[in-house]
Structures are given as C-alpha cells and as structure tokens.
Structure 1
Amino acid sequence: MAECLAHVQGGRILNRARGLWPALAAPGIAWLLLFFVAPMYVVLCIVFGAVDPIFRTAVPVWNPLQWNPSQFTYVLTHIVGENGVYGPALLRTGIFVLTASILCLLIAFPVAYYVSRLSGKRKGLLLTLLIAPFWISYMMRMFAWVNLLQDDGLVNAALSLGGLFTPDINWLTGQPVVVILGLVYGYVPYMILPLYAGLDRLSQPVLEASRDLGANRMSSFWRVTLPLSRPTIVAAVLLTCLPMLGDYFTSDMLSASPKTAMVGNLINDSVLTPGQTGQAGAFVLLVFLVALMPMLYYIKVTSRRDDVAT
C-alpha cells in the first residue's frame, strides 16, 4: 500500500514538473514570436509585396498565396553577371567580416583566457575595464577614430615624426583596412565577454588532470583547453560576425565611399530610396540565410558535445 501511494505521489510530482518547464519557457517563446517571427513575416510580406505606383511606398501583401517574387528576383539577378551591381558589396562584406572576425578572435582569446584563468585577485578590475567600452556609444567611439585619422589628425602627425615627413595617406577616403580595423575596434568587446564566460566555466579538475598525466602547459592548452572551448569560440564568433553583416555605420563614418560599401549600406540606401523598400528586405533575407549556416553549425557542435557528455 505504501509503495502504491509513493508511486502515485511520484507520478504527480513528475506531471507537475513536466508542466512547469513549458510554463517557464512560455515567456521566451512569446518573446521570440513577437520580436522575431512576426517581424520576419513582415519582412517577407514586404519583399514579396507590391509598390504603390503613386507614392512609391511598400505595400505589404499578407496572404502568401498572393506574393510576387519580382523584387527578390531583381536582387538575385543583379548579384552576378553583366548586371551584377550588388555582387562586389556582398563579396566585400564577406571579406571584411571574415577578416575582422579573425582579428577579433586573435585579440579577444588571449585577453579572455588571461582574465578567466590567470588574473587572480585582479579579475574584478579587469572585468570592469572590459565592460567599460559599452558605457560609451558606438557613434562616439567612431567619431574618435575620425578625429584620429583626419589628414591633420594624430595618426598622420605620428607618421610624420614631428614634421620630418609628410605622409600622403588619406585614411578616410575609401581605405578597406580602415573599415576592417574600425569593425575590429567596435566589436572586439562583444567577443571578449562570451569567451571569458565560456573559459571561466571550464572544469578546473579536467585541466589539472592533463597536467597530472604529464602534459606541459602548452600541450595541455592545445589538447584540452582549446578543444573544450570550441563551442565557446563558435558562439563568440557568431555573436560578433552576425551584427557585422548588417553594419553600415562603420563604413559610413570611416569611409563614406562606394569602394568600401557593405551589404548594410545597400540596405540603408534602399530603405532611403522610394520604391526600393522591398529590395532592402531582400538584402535582409539574404543576410539571414547566410547567417543561418554558421548558426546551424553551432547547434551541431553543441549537440555533439552534449551527446559525448551523456
């Protein structure tokens, strides 16, 4: 009898637990539906919608059965080939984002590793310094770079060695390296923090076990620390490169030249041009599809790690 009562009570507790988790997940699901799924559907309705012939404004078509793919097709047909006016900006975006992400990783990983594993009592101070860039707006930080890189700015003054030389470098007139370094400067804090969070959670006994088994510090890092931190690295790169894909402000501030235009600039220009809102939505959709691939890779990496752990 007692065993039956215990079994019934255990079943009730299990049923309550099963109902608790969906209830806890409900706010997050509602948030995603309201601020991700719904806006994405609006973008699709604009991309495959119509254009007002008089006011040249976007007319969303809410019924998918009535969607018109002409605006999306127009963008696709102007990426490559004779009419490929959008292709260079898309290719340039990929190169800029890839280069800037690699540089951010090379800068951020040693910093995050030091703060998480080696900083000791100074960890609180270092974390404060890492968060400090978020206290200043992105626009003001880019304005600081504009002042530094002007023809009479501190960079050219330093290169002139006190007036001995006259550097003929116009940094703010379409220099790709300036845009890439601007992206690195602007987004490297976004990579340091998730790397620190992941590295700080690594199991210290596992790391110490590798040392006990005879591995030196460098071997332990390459064979244990780095493989364990791979999901963290993928997550940090994603959190950094995804906003870079839609960035247009950095190129506008540090270049303002078609030679360094990125896909974010195409989206911004299309939004500001009457009758091209649907094309802007098409670019957003392309960026989303490109960003979806590394996100799926991250899900694959994390699921594989969970399978190994179980």
Structure 2
Amino acid sequence: MSTEDRGNRFLGPVLALPGIVWLLVFFLAPLYVVLAVVFGGLDPIFRTAVPIWNPAYWDTTQMRYVLEHIVGPTGFFGPALLRTAVYVVTASLLCLVIAFPIAYYVARLAGRWRGLLLALLIAPFWISYMMRMLAWVNLLANDGLVNRILPGQVDWLSGRSEVVVLGLVYGYVPYMIIPLYAGLDRLPQSLVEAARDLGASRTSAFFRVTMPMCRPIVVASVLLTCLPMLGDYYTSDLLSGSPQTSMVGNLINETVLTPGQTGQAGAFVLLVLLVSLLPMIYYVRSVSRDEAGL
C-alpha cells in the first residue's frame, strides 16, 4: 500500500473524530446520566435523585409510574402529551406554509436582493427567544396594542391554545426558513429549465420537478423545527401560564423543580427522545431511497 493510499485510508476516521468525540461527550454521556437517574433511586430524607450507574441494578419504578399515568382513569399526564403533539404538528405546518414561499423567493427569485433578504431572515436570531415572547406578552396584554386595535376586549393571555400556537410559529419559523433556503438554493436549475424547454409551464415545472426534489429538504426543515418545539415550555408559560395549555416541556420543568420527581422528568425526556427518533428514522430512510434511485 502506497503512502498516499495509507493517508486516504485514515483521512475519513481523522475527519470524523471530532464529531464522534462531540457525540460521546455531549450526547451519549448526558443520556446515560439521564438513564441512571430515571432508573435510579430516591433519597428517603432529602427527596433527591440517587443515580444508579450499574444497569444491573436499575429500578423501573419511575418509568412505570409515568407510563401508567398517561392513559386511563389516572392518566393525568396524557392530556399534556396529546396537547404537545397537536400544538407541534399545527405549528410546524403553519411554519411550513409561511416559510416555504419566503425561502423559495429568496433562493430562486430574489436576484441581487438575496443577501439583504437573507440578513433580514437571520436577524431574529440576534434577539433572545424570551425577549421575543415578552414582546408578544406586551402586545396581547389587556391594555396592549392588539386590544386597542380590535373592537372587543379579549383576554388573550388567559390560557388560549391559539395564542400558544401563534407563539410557537413566531418563535420557530426562522428555524424553518434558513434550512429551506439552503436546500432550495442548491437545487439544480438545469432540470427546471429542461422541463420548460420540453413544454412544461412554470406551474407544471414547479409541481412536477421542483417539489419532488424538495421533499428531503422539507422533511429536514420540519424536523429541525418540530424537535425543539417538543421540549418548549417558555412559550406556554409566558403566553398562557395555564395548566390547560401545558406541554410536555412544562411537565419536565415542573417535575425537575419538585422534590422527589427528578426521575419522572427524566422519563419524560426519554419519551420525547423516542418520539423524536421516529421522524428522524423516516428522514434517513427517505434520503437513502432518494440517493439509491439516482
């Protein structure tokens, strides 16, 4: 084996090493800590979690407690989990409806204005998420601008689901615009031009050529948006503060702050992780099929 071949053989592992170390230190290690807490014990005096590091001695009491109280007569966790799913799906679809036309215009039609428009799209990331939500609190307060404009007095911040969904859309739509723009900008324009040369109208070329190529981009953008929504709790706390709009993130936050319930918080984290893995697996498989078909 020549020196060049030997160098190429080790190039891939060397380039992957930083990413592997990052995953080990900041993902797998914290995940194992969560598992040790979920399947660990509880200090009988101080009511604090006692991690058990040896899987042979893990106790499933905390996980069984959470699972047993999701559905059925004692399923007081179930409504928040179902509410989270409805909020996240609704907000993600609304984000897609808003983000796709914007990203498509900036990536394909903006011309010399592309740089300025892209900077404006990134600008919301310069402002804290909490500050943006507090701005909505001021707008929707009883004496806020919205109630001054509308004819009737509406108590927007009294536990209204539509306000929470609105906050999620406003807060996370930039997370969908940026990956959509990046993906649409890389689409080969030659395929669209070939469709037009073969007689397809602009609308037909968009739906029969551009949209099929956009499927992996759309799936990835939706995932990047909905996954952080699953753990969101600031939005509901600030725009509602009512148990009637609490999400799984609120359950995690409340159980972490309640003595003796840290293991339950970890169980909710594991449930969110398992739910998040399903669309991620679908995305990986769909991308693999698309690449195999090329």
Match of 2:189 among 193, 204, 207: 204
Instruction: Establish whether residue 119 from structure 1 lines up as the match of residue 113 from structure 2.
Output: no
Partner of 1:132: 123
Aligned residues: 294
Give ranges in structure 1 of 5+ residues lacking alignment.
1-7, 161-166
Cα shift readout 1:220-248 (whole Å, capped 9, x = no counterpart): 11111111011010000000000000000
Partner of 1:281: 266
Q: How does 1:210-225 map to 2 (within 5 A)?
A: 210-225=195-210
Instruction: Tell me how far 1:14 sits from its aligned partner.
Output: 2.5
Q: Normalising to structure 2: TM-score of the pair?
A: 0.99
Partner of 2:10: 19
Partner of 1:182: 167
Partner of 1:300: 285
Match of 2:93 among 88, 102, 113: 102
The code of the aligned residue for 1:229 comes to C
Runs (4 or more) in structure 1 with deviation over 3 Å come to none
The whole-number CA distance in structure 1 between the counterparts of 2:79 and 2:138 is 29
Q: How does 1:242-281 map to 2 (within 5 A)?
A: 242-281=227-266
Instruction: Tell me how far 1:15 sits from its aligned partner.
Output: 2.7
The whole-number CA distance in structure 1 between the counterparts of 2:95 and 2:193 is 29
Indicate the structure (1 or 2) with the bigger Cα radius of gyration.
1
Cα shift readout 1:64-93 (whole Å, capped 9, x = no counterpart): 000000000000000000100000000000
Q: How does 1:31-70 map to 2 (within 5 A)?
A: 31-70=22-61
Q: Normalising to structure 1: TM-score of the pair?
A: 0.94
Match of 2:84 among 93, 101, 117: 93
Give ranges in structure 2 of 5+ residues lacking alignment.
none
Q: For 1:229, what is the secondary structure of its paired residue?
A: helix
The code of the aligned residue for 1:70 comes to T
Instruction: Tell me how far 1:206 sits from its aligned partner.
Output: 1.2
Cα shift readout 1:75-126 (whole Å, capped 9, x = no counterpart): 0000000100000000000000000000000000000000000000000000
Match of 1:75 among 66, 81, 87: 66
The code of the aligned residue for 2:205 comes to S
Instruction: Establish whether residue 235 from structure 1 lines up as the match of residue 220 from structure 2.
Output: yes
Cα shift readout 1:257-308 (whole Å, capped 9, x = no counterpart): 0000000000000000000000000000000000000000010111111112
The whole-number CA distance in structure 1 between the counterparts of 2:293 and 2:186 is 18
